[in-house]
Structures are given as structure tokens and as C-alpha cells.
């Protein structure tokens, strides 16, 4: 029988329009199975080379053209860190550090922020009556660039601060920068944690595989079942043309709080689980953030790898809390404004960062008074804690509204909806789906908070644990979106 | 009295380590998933209950009916023969209840028919047909099935690793690499019923509560399948005047609408897609033949007007292909000339029989009766 001519057989595959190699895609499942299987067969050094190759293949699956950027960033920081380590003169050391910072942030600036600042400047001049056609680069944002840039920067800064010695193995360093489980959306690992794990002989153990598999399963459940199934509700309300009523905005904001948590923490769980299966231990990135009792605690629990990065390399560099109250507030605000900008080149992200900076400042100012509220009986303490948690959650939700909106004006118009009619009847139809989807997450988090352990499922009796595993797996298979809806944080 | 000391069995440290390391919960979970997946979503699963939960007719309903048909075939007493009638939605014109009762006593007919059953699905169905010990497989086919673009919608209803392998072999390495996502999804559907029937299960169990009903402004897409299509050739264009006259006539004939079937008919073309489709049918037939199952191919009619909408010589290709299968695999081929004649009034639209359904049923009935009387090539 004649075989079809390849060129004449065209496939119209809708799933091809989605980015490849998402953790929640079947393609990644097959990719990881291959990577894992081969890793088991190799000795330590060869494992590192194999994982480096796999990481570059993984990144190339998104867009091979940006492999050069990844390699460039890796090369610059590898050599600069070595030069800093060898240099004695402090000015020269500083100049070397500046080389790394400028080149890394320069790349980030060109690819992520150039058009944003160009357009913003043109708009600003426009309001002053000066017409200017901004020169726009219109380049595609390389996936994960914000993450790996911060990761490599932290290495160079740590070497500069003499907190660690540079590595002498370029390929190990390249693996540190490109390690595929955390390459595109973190956690932003510190070299002092990950490089020693790369350099040391690792053990792939059954316990590691079990723990890793659980993290992968739970992460997938959060992402594809909870997060993705909530997405249509949120997309509908946050669509620029939508005219939602106040209760719909309220519920969609709650839903987005759940979605972004499930999406991002789900990604992190999968990343940590994959790494654990391969014998690595990545840092915890989320620690029940919605149970935080104040904004400071929220940032100690949310995107921990970024918040600690901002604290260690930005807030402290700005002076931290060492120069009086007002400088501390300024530093908090600046850090959070830049943190907001890190999330995206748009003013509503900056506003979101600024909003959190304000929250942190206000909390810092009122900390003493708030602490005094908890003095009293255990019941009073519990009540205050509960109210603080709820209050903090709502403050965070208001921030999410800014974050999710398309622009600052869109966010303000959505906030304005709360002053409009409250047709509760319409939104009541959403309560059940929202409860069904968010319910398992809430139950799990309460159990984790009560037991004080994040691995609460592993403490369950064997049969119950097996039932949870089987149930989650089937729910993921049946009710999960199988095209791999991209993770929200990939855009940053 | 001497009391013997209690026997204490101490595990070696290695055994203890091994015990600690073994993922008992994981193993138990895998067993539970496998058991549930096989039992609850196999043909003997609670499909009737699922049927009751589905909102109405549609592809998902047809898939559930398939399962009920398979269950009925599985439960056929050993003294009854099993005939599986397979085809696209056009095969739904085969009505088993119209079969004369004498034949129904000796042969149990099962009908697997719904939209999206195309050559790949037929190839996928071979494993199922063999698993239920089918005596004869009747494939309803014509150029309408073989010369339209390849349309594979994973996961539809049947999954077979052999069919996925056939697809990959037929396409070749470049095709397989380019369409690896499709192959991954088809493979996952073969491995897990819960993945294969996810659309059905979502529609039955989830759509009610996850549809964010607010009226039109916020409709929720409820289908998650994104079909894959291998494009076909370009049909001969119709002149503007011809098309106007034709549409006017079609509008009178089918006031309920004709556009979708018209477009389907117009996509009947020659090209590599047709080779591809024929390759899949050939592989299915070869596998059935190798397993000793009798095969009948019944040429399925289209409305007389439809025949004028594509190159009529394409039908000759189909008949030629069927004749090859007859000579190579001993297939029984019932061409349109051997059936009762069909007229325009027999059809509900351009491709589906309505009033003519009994004619098709009688054709199949006669063919099956004849084939099952032939003893030697059959297993029983």
C-alpha cells in the first residue's frame, strides 16, 4: 500500500498551539520517564551531564532560539564569579559584580521591560503634549528568564559577599542554572543549596520517589483539577468587555486567589517532586500562605524563594531596617514595587507590589498594637487569630484583583463594581462549584495547619493513604485539563 | 512444666529497610486504580447509570450505548453467534430490532456506531472485537469514510496499542514525531479507561456543577476534546449559479439543515489522506482475518444527490479497494448493486438513511446469515 507523502499530510492539531513540555502535559510525562529511567542507570558525573542535556532539550522545546541567552547568562556568571573570587581589590570586585548585574539585568530589561518603558515614556510625554513614536523591540519574552536571571545573580552576589566559593565545574554550574524542574518557574534556588547537591553523589531512594510522586500528584491535582477548572469563571469576569456585578467580582476574586495559589504552588510541588525523584531537594516555596495572620507573615509563606531573594539581595542592600523607621518603610515599599515589576512589565503589577509594600509598612507600624490584641484568654487569642487570618486573606484578595486585571484602569473599574448593584442571586450559582473545587484544598490546608506538618497525608493509615492516592490520580485523569493549560507564572 | 519461650522472628536490618522503603500505599493505590479502571469502566461497568446522568443525546451518549452493546455481546449464551456491526453515525441506520426473530435467536447483533468512528477507530476496535469473541464483524464503509480527511479525536471510545502502532507505522517517523502529542494521547487512552472515557465522565458527573451558569455572558466550554485532523484534497469548485440552485434544492429537500453534511460530502477527495485511511482499514481487516473472524464490508449509500457533489470515479477506487480485500483476506463485500436500491426518500439528509434504514438492516441481515452458514473459515 502506498504511504502518504509526508508533506501532503497536514495536521490541524489545536493542542499544538499550546506551549510544549508543560509539567501537566503528556509529552512531559514521557520526557520525564525517559530522563528518570536513564538517570537511574548512570554514575554521578554522567548523571549531571545527562540532566544538563535534558534541561537544555526541555528549554529548547519551548523555543530553541533562547538557548543562547541561557548559555550566555550561565557563561557570564560562571566567569565573573570566579574572577570576583580571585580578585583582591574591592573596586575591581565591585566592577566585576556590576558586570554581572548589568549584563543579567540588561538582558532581562531588553527582553522584558524595554517595550514597557518605551510605551510608558511615550504616553507620559503624550500627556505633556510631546508626541513620540516609541521604538518597540516587540520581542517574545523568553520563558523563565526572570527566574534564572535571579538565580544566577544570587550566585554571583553570594560569591561577592564571600558567602560561598565559586564552583570550578562549568557544566555543574550550567546544570544549576538550567535544572529543568525549576528552570521556568522556580523555586529560585540559591547556589549555596543546589550546587552542593549537584556536586555530591546523590541517592535515588524509594522514599524519595514516594515523597516526590506524592508531591507531583498533589501538585497536578491543584493545577489541573482546581486551578484549571476555576479558570473559565475567572476569565469570564476579568474579561475587559465583561460587565459583572459586585458579587460576581467578589467570587471571581476569591476564585482567583484559589487559582493562582493552586497554579503556582501546584507547579512548585511538581518541580520539587520531580527533583526529589531525581535525588534533589528543592526549597519549599509555599507554606500555607492564606493562613497567614498579617501581611509580613503572608510574604514569609508565599513564593518564599522570591520573597527571601528580594529580602537578601534588595531590601538588605537598600539598608533594610538599619537606618530608622522611615528608611525602613521606604525600603519595604521600593522592594515590593520592584517585586511587583518583576512579575510583569505592566503598571498594575507595579501597583500590586506597591500595595503590598504599603500593607507591609502599615503592619510594621501597627505591629505593637496588633500584638497587644492577642493578650488575654485562649479563646480571645483564637478569635483574634481567626479574624486576623480572614482580614489578611481579604487584603491579599484585594491585591489579587489588581494583579489579575488587565490594567490599572480595569482593576479600578472592577473595584468600582463593589459600589454597584449587588445581585446575589446570580453569583449564588457559583458557590457550589467554587466550594466543590476549593473544598479539598481547604480541608488539606486545615489538616496541615492542625497537625503542623505539610506531609499530613504521609501520616495517614496505609489504606486511607492509598485511597487518597488512587482517588486523586483518577480525579486528575478524568477531570484534569489534558492539553496543558500554561501555568500563570510562566508569563513572568 | 516446661514452657517454651515465645518464638520471636526478627527481621534482618536489610529486610526492615526494604519494608520501610517499599511504597505499600502506592502499590495499593495502583491496584485500586487498575481494578476500578478495569471493572467500573469496562463493558460490564455501570454504564446504564452513566447513561441516566448524561444530559441528552450526543457523542458521549453513543459511546455509553457502545459499552452497553458490548456488554450484551459478552453475555451472549455460547450457542449464539456474535456479530459486531461497526461504522460511523451512518451505521446507526442499522436497526437490530428489525432483524427477523429466527436469525436473532441464533445470532446476537451488537452495533457500535457513532460520529467520529473512522478507519482509525475501526482499527482500534479490533482488540475489543477479539476480546468479546466475535464471530463476524460487519464494517459499514464507502468512499465517504475513506476519502474524507483523517479525523482522529482522542480519546473517543476504543483504545488499542496495536492501532496506535499501525498509525505510527503508516505515517512513518516524521509523521510520528510531528504528531507525537496525538500518539501520546492515544497511548494514554489505551492504557487507562478513565482517560479514554473522560469526556463521557465529565459530561455525566462534572458538567452540572462546574458550569458557571450566569446566562450567556459567561458560558463555560464543556467539551475538552480537540480533534486532530489530517487534511484532505481540494474538491472541484462549484460555479456560483450551480451552487445557488443546489442550495435552493437542498433547502427544499432538507428544511432541517444540510450545511454540515454538504461540507462533509464536498470533502470527499482523492489524495494521500485516502491512502492513509485505506491503510488503517487494511490493517484492521488483516488482524481480524488472522484471528479467524469473518469480515463483511457493506457499502453504505449516500443520497443520490450527494453522488453528484464529488468525483464519482472515487467510488471506483473504493470498490477496487474492497475487491482487493476480498481476494486477500476473504472478505465478503456487499456492493450497492447487491443491495436493495436506495432512493432519495430513503434519506434524512445527504448521508444518513432514515426511511431506508430497514433496507440497510435487511442487507446486513442477509450477509451475516450467509457468512455464518459458511463453516470452515470460522472458529465455531
pLDDT tens per residue, range A189-232: 999 999 999 999 888 888 888 889 999 999 999 988 898 888 88
Phi, psi of A432 (to 5 degrees): -65, -55
pLDDT at res. B223: 38
- Enumerate the β-bridge partners of residue B332: B296
- Enumerate the β-bridge partners of residue B82: B108
Identify the residue with better confidence: A337 or B226: A337
Whole-angstrom distance, CA of residue B63 vs CA of residue B67 = 7
DSSP B337: G
Identify the residue with better confidence: B202 or B288: B288
- Nearest Cα neighbor of A266 from A62, A490, A57, A428 is A490
* Contact between residue B200 and residue B60 where contact means Cβ atoms under 8 Å apart: yes
pTM, entire model: 0.82
pLDDT at res. B19: 55
> Nearest Cβ partner of B226 from A27, A477, A483?
A483
Whole-angstrom distance, CA of residue A302 vs CA of residue A334 = 19
Q: B-chain residues within 8 Å CB-CB of A10?
A: 230-231
What is the sign, positive or negative, of the torsion defined by CA atoms of A120, A123, A125, A130? Answer: positive
> Nearest Cβ partner of B272 from A5, A29, A207?
A5
* Contact between residue A74 and residue A152 where contact means Cβ atoms under 8 Å apart: yes
Whole-angstrom distance, CA of residue B268 vs CA of residue B275 = 13
Q: A-chain residues within 8 Å CB-CB of B273?
A: 4, 9
Whole-angstrom distance, CA of residue B71 vs CA of residue B84 = 12
Identify the residue with better confidence: B116 or A397: A397
Q: A-chain residues within 8 Å CB-CB of B180?
A: 27
Whole-angstrom distance, CA of residue A289 vs CA of residue A261 = 9
pLDDT at res. B3: 46
pLDDT at res. B215: 47
Whole-angstrom distance, CA of residue A59 vs CA of residue A177 = 12
Identify the residue with better confidence: A408 or B7: A408
B72: its cell numbers: 450484551
In three-state secondary structure terms, A315 is helix
Question: Domain B24-373: what homologous superfamily?
Answer: SGNH hydrolase (3.40.50.1110)
Whole-angstrom distance, CA of residue A148 vs CA of residue B185 = 31
> Nearest Cβ partner of A30 from B178, B184, B213?
B184
For residue B1, pLDDT over 50 is answered with no
> Nearest Cβ partner of A26 from B25, B171, B184?
B184
- Nearest Cα neighbor of A241 from A414, A390, A401 is A414
pLDDT at res. A88: 86
Give the minimum alpha-carbon distance from B354 to chain A in angstroms, rounded to a whole number.
33
Query: What is the value of ipTM here, to two decimals?
Result: 0.77
For residue A170, pLDDT over 60 is answered with yes
pLDDT digits (tens, 9 = 90+) for A440-452: 999 999 998 888 8
Q: A-chain residues within 8 Å CB-CB of B178?
A: 11
Whole-angstrom distance, CA of residue A390 vs CA of residue A371 = 16
What is the mean predicted confidence (pLDDT) over B101-125? 87
What is the mean predicted confidence (pLDDT) over A460-467? 90
For residue A308, pLDDT over 90 is answered with yes
Which residue bears the cell 451558569? B213
B183 pLDDT band, cuts 50/70/90, is confident
A123: its cell numbers: 504616553
Whole-angstrom distance, CA of residue A165 vs CA of residue A32 = 32
Give the minimum alpha-carbon distance from B159 to chain A in angstroms, rounded to a whole number.
16
For residue A62, pLDDT over 70 is answered with yes
Angle at the Cα of A299 from the Cα atoms of A371 and A226, rounded to 5 degrees: 120
pLDDT at res. A10: 29
For residue A366, pLDDT over 80 is answered with yes
B332 pLDDT band, cuts 50/70/90, is very high
Q: B-chain residues within 8 Å CB-CB of A3?
A: 170, 172, 275, 279
Q: Which residues contact A193 (CB under 8 A, 6 or more apart)?
A: A283
Whole-angstrom distance, CA of residue A361 vs CA of residue A367 = 10
- Range from A126-140, A390-404, A407-421 carrying the lowest mean pLDDT: A126-140
For residue A14, pLDDT over 50 is answered with no
pLDDT at res. A23: 80
* Contact between residue B231 and residue B273 where contact means Cβ atoms under 8 Å apart: yes
pLDDT at res. B225: 38
Phi, psi of B46 (to 5 degrees): -80, 60
A455 pLDDT band, cuts 50/70/90, is confident
* Contact between residue A386 and residue A350 where contact means Cβ atoms under 8 Å apart: no
pLDDT digits (tens, 9 = 90+) for B21-63: 678 888 999 999 999 998 888 888 899 898 888 888 888 888 8
Cβ neighbours around A319 below 10 Å, total: 13
Whole-angstrom distance, CA of residue A112 vs CA of residue A83 = 28
* Cβ–Cβ below 8 Å for A242 and B172: no
For residue B186, pLDDT over 90 is answered with no
pLDDT at res. B379: 35
For residue B170, pLDDT over 80 is answered with yes
What is the mean predicted confidence (pLDDT) over A90-101? 92
* Cβ–Cβ below 8 Å for A243 and B217: yes
* Cβ–Cβ below 8 Å for A4 and B28: no
Identify the residue with better confidence: B240 or A382: A382
Identify the residue with better confidence: A297 or A7: A297
B56: its cell numbers: 441528552
> Nearest Cβ partner of A433 from B20, B178, B212?
B212
Cβ neighbours around A185 below 10 Å, total: 25
pLDDT at res. A483: 54
- Nearest Cα neighbor of B310 from B278, B271, B270 is B270
Q: Which residue of A has its CA nearest to B175?
A: A6
For A81-93, b/e burial (b = at least 16 CB within 10 A) is bbbbbebeeeeeb
Taking chain B, what is the end-to-end CA distance rounded to the nearest angstrom? 72
Q: Over chain B, what is the mean pLDDT?
A: 82
Q: B-chain residues within 8 Å CB-CB of A237?
A: 218
Give the minimum alpha-carbon distance from A377 to chain B in angstroms, rounded to a whole number.
43
B176 pLDDT band, cuts 50/70/90, is confident
Top residue of B14, B17, B23 to mutate, by most chain A CBs within 10 Å, is: B23
* Cβ–Cβ below 8 Å for A473 and B185: no
B211 pLDDT band, cuts 50/70/90, is low
pLDDT at res. B217: 41
Share of chain B above pLDDT 90, in %: 27
Give the minimum alpha-carbon distance from B267 to chain A in angstroms, rounded to a whole number.
15
For residue B120, pLDDT over 70 is answered with yes
In order of A251, A347, A410, B157, the CA distances from A241 in angstroms are 18, 20, 10, 39
In three-state secondary structure terms, A318 is coil
Q: A-chain residues within 8 Å CB-CB of B218?
A: 232-233, 236-237, 242
Q: Over chain A, what is the mean pLDDT?
A: 85
- Range from A168-172, A383-387, A464-468, B8-12 carrying the lowest mean pLDDT: B8-12
Decide if A44 is catalytic: no
Query: Of A18, A168, A343, A356, which one is the catalytic site residue?
Result: A343
- Nearest Cα neighbor of A177 from A69, A33, A68, A74 is A74
- Range from A31-45, A77-91, A110-124, A257-271 carrying the lowest mean pLDDT: A110-124
For residue A140, pLDDT over 90 is answered with no
Identify the residue with better confidence: B180 or B282: B282
A293 pLDDT band, cuts 50/70/90, is very high
Give the minimum alpha-carbon distance from B21 to chain A in angstroms, rounded to a whole number.
5
A172-176, A379-383, B5-9, B47-51 — most confident range: A172-176
- Range from A109-123, B14-28, B299-313 carrying the lowest mean pLDDT: B14-28
DSSP A113: I
- Range from A312-316, A340-344, B251-255 carrying the lowest mean pLDDT: B251-255
> Nearest Cβ partner of B181 from A8, A27, A477?
A27
Top residue of B36, B175, B214 to mutate, by most chain A CBs within 10 Å, is: B214
* Cβ–Cβ below 8 Å for A243 and B275: no
> Nearest Cβ partner of B220 from A27, A29, A232?
A232
A231-240, A477-486, B335-344 — most confident range: B335-344
Q: Which residue of A has its CA nearest to B274?
A: A4
Give the minimum alpha-carbon distance from B24 to chain A in angstroms, rounded to a whole number.
7
Identify the residue with better confidence: A33 or B43: A33
pLDDT at res. A95: 93
* Cβ–Cβ below 8 Å for B26 and A12: no
A13 pLDDT band, cuts 50/70/90, is very low
Q: Domain segments of chain B: what residues?
A: 24-373
pLDDT at res. B210: 65
- Enumerate the β-bridge partners of residue B298: B140, B334
A361-365, B1-5, B70-74, B287-291 — most confident range: B287-291
Q: Counting one residue from A and one from B, how many pairs have CB atoms under 8 Å apart?
A: 156
Q: B-chain residues within 8 Å CB-CB of A8?
A: 271-272
Whole-angstrom distance, CA of residue B99 vs CA of residue B202 = 35
For residue B64, pLDDT over 60 is answered with yes
pLDDT at res. A484: 54
Q: Which residue of B has its CA nearest to A457?
A: B25
* Cβ–Cβ below 8 Å for B198 and A205: no
pLDDT at res. B374: 41
Q: B-chain residues within 8 Å CB-CB of A12?
A: 228-229, 231
Q: What is the DSSP string of A270-305?
A: HHHHHHHHTT--PPP--S-GGG-SSHHHHHHHSSHH
Whole-angstrom distance, CA of residue B112 vs CA of residue B354 = 18
Top residue of A482, A484, A485 to mutate, by most chain B CBs within 10 Å, is: A482
- Nearest Cα neighbor of B351 from B300, B312, B313 is B300
Identify the residue with better confidence: A144 or A491: A144
Amino acid at each position: 500500500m502506498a504511504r502518504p507523502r509526508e508533506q501532503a499530510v497536514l495536521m490541524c492539531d489545536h493542542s499544538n498551539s499550546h506551549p510544549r513540555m508543560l509539567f501537566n502535559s503528556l509529552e512531559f510525562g514521557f520526557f520525564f520517564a525517559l530522563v528518570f529511567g536513564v538517570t537511574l542507570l548512570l554514575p554521578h558525573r554522567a548523571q549531571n551531564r545527562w540532566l544538563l542535556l535534558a534541561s537544555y532539550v526541555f528549554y529548547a522545546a519551548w523555543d530553541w532560539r533562547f538557548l543562547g541567552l541561557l548559555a550566555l547568562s550561565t557563561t557570564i556568571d560562571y566567569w565573573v564569579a570566579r574572577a570576583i573570587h580571585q580578585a583582591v581589590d574591592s573596586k575591581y570586585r565591585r566592577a566585576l559584580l556590576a558586570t554581572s548585574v548589568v549584563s543579567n539585568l540588561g538582558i532581562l530589561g531588553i527582553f522584558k521591560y524595554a517595550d514597557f518603558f518605551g510605551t510608558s515614556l511615550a504616553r507620559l510625554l503624550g500627556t505633556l503634549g510631546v508626541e513620540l513614536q516609541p521604538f518597540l523591540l516587540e520581542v517574545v519574552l523568553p520563558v523563565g528568564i526572570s527566574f534564572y536571571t535571579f538565580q544566577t545573580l544570587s550566585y554571583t552576589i553570594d560569591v561577592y559577599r564571600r558567602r560561598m566559593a565559586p564552583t570550578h565545574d562549568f557544566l555543574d554550574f550550567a546544570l544549576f542554572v538550567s535544572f529543568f524542574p525549576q528552570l521556568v518557574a522556580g523555586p529560585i534556588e540559591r547556589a549555596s543549596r543546589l550546587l552542593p547537591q549537584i556536586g555530591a553523589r546523590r541517592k535515588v531512594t524509594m522514599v524519595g520517589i514516594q515523597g516526590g510522586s506524592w508531591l507531583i500528584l498533589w501538585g497536578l491535582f491543584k493545577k489541573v483539577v482546581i486551578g484549571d477548572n476555576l479558570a473559565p469563571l475567572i476569565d469570564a469576569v476579568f474579561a475587559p468587555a465583561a460587565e459583572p456585578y459586585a458579587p460576581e467580582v467578589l467570587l471571581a476574586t476569591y476564585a482567583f486567589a484559589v487559582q493562582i495559589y493552586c497554579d503556582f504552588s501546584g507547579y512548585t510541588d511538581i518541580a520539587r517532586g520531580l527533583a526529589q525523584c531525581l535525588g534533589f531537594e528543592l526549597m519549599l516555596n509555599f507554606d500555607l500562605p492564606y493562613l497567614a495572620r498579617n501581611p509580613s507573615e503572608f510574604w514569609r509563606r508565599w513564593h518564599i524563594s522570591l520573597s527571601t531573594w528580594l529580602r537578601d539581595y534588595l531590601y538588605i542592600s537598600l539598608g533594610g531596617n538599619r537606618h530608622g523607621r522611615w528608611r525602613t518603610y521606604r525600603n519595604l515599599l521600593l522592594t515590593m514595587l520592584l517585586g511587583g515589576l518583576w512579575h510583569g512589565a505592566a503598571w498594575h503589577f507595579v501597583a500590586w507590589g506597591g500595595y503590598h509594600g504599603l500593607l507591609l509598612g502599615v503592619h510594621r507600624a501597627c505591629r505593637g498594637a496588633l500584638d497587644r490584641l492577642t493578650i488575654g484568654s485562649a479563646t480571645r487569642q483564637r478569635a483574634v487569630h481567626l479574624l486576623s487570618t480572614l482580614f489578611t486573606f481579604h487584603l491579599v484578595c484585594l491585591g489579587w484583583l489588581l494583579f489579575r486585571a488587565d490594567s490599572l484602569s480595569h482593576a479600578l473599574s472592577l473595584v468600582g463594581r463593589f459600589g454597584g448593584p449587588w445581585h446575589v442571586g446570580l453569583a449564588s450559582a457559583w458557590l457550589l462549584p467554587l466550594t466543590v473545587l476549593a473544598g479539598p484544598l481547604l480541608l488539606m490546608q486545615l489538616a496541615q495547619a492542625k497537625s503542623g506538618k505539610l506531609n499530613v497525608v504521609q501520616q495517614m493509615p496505609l489504606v486511607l493513604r492509598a485511597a487518597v492516592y488512587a482517588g486523586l490520580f483518577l480525579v486528575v485523569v478524568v477531570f484534569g485539563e489534558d492539553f496543558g493549560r500554561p501555568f500563570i507564572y510562566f508569563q513572568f | 512444666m516446661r514452657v517454651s519461650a515465645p518464638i520471636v522472628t526478627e527481621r534482618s536490618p536489610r529486610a526492615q529497610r526494604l519494608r520501610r522503603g517499599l511504597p505499600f500505599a502506592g502499590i495499593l493505590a495502583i491496584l485500586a486504580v487498575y481494578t476500578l479502571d478495569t471493572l467500573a469502566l469496562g463493558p460490564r461497568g455501570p454504564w446504564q447509570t452513566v447513561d441516566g446522568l448524561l444530559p441528552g443525546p450526543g457523542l458521549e451518549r453513543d459511546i455509553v450505548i457502545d459499552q452497553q452493546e458490548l456488554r450484551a455481546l459478552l453475555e451472549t449464551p455460547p450457542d449464539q453467534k456474535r456479530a459486531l456491526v461497526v461504522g460511523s453515525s451512518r451505521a446507526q441506520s442499522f436497526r437490530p430490532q428489525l432483524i427477523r426473530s429466527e436469525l436473532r435467536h441464533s445470532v446476537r447483533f451488537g452495533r457500535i456506531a457513532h460520529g467520529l468512528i473512522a478507519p482509525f477507530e475501526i482499527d482500534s476496535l479490533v482488540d475489543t472485537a477479539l476480546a468479546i469473541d466475535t464471530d463476524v464483524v460487519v464494517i459499514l464503509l464507502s468512499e465517504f469514510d475513506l476519502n474524507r480527511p483523517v479525523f482522529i479525536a482522542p480519546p473517543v471510545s476504543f483504545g488499542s496499542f496495536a492501532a496506535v502502532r499501525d498509525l505510527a507505522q503508516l505515517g512513518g517517523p516524521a509523521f510520528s514525531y510531528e504528531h507525537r502529542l496525538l500518539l501520546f494521547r492515544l497511548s494514554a487512552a489505551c492504557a487507562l479507561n478513565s482517560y479514554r472515557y473522560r469526556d463521557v465522565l465529565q459530561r455525566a458527573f462534572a458538567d452540572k456543577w462546574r458550569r458557571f451558569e450566569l446566562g450567556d455572558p459567561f458560558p463555560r466550554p464543556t467539551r475538552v476534546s480537540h480533534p486532530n485532523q489530517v487534511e484532505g484534497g481540494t474538491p472541484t469548485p462549484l460555479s456560483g449559479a450551480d451552487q445557488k440552485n443546489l442550495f435552493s434544492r437542498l433547502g427544499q429537500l432538507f428544511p432541517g439543515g444540510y450545511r454540515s453534511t454538504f461540507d462533509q460530502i464536498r470533502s470527499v477527495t482523492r489524495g494521500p489522506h485516502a491512502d492513509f485511511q485505506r491503510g488503517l482499514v487494511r490493517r484492521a481487516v488483516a488482524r481480524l482475518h488472522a484471528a479467524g473472524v469473518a469480515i463483511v464490508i457493506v457499502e453504505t449509500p449516500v443520497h443520490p444527490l450527494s453522488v453528484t457533489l464529488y468525483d464519482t470515479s472515487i467510488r471506483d477506487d473504493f470498490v477496487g479497494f474492497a475487491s482487493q480485500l476480498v481476494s486477500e483476506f476473504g472478505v465478503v463485500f456487499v456492493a450497492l448493486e447487491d443491495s436493495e436500491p436506495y432512493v432519495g426518500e430513503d434519506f434524512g439528509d445527504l448521508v444518513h438513511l432514515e426511511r431506508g434504514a430497514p433496507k440497510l438492516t435487511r442487507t446486513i441481515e442477509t450477509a451475516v446469515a450467509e457468512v455464518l452458514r459458511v463453516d470452515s473459515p470460522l472458529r465455531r
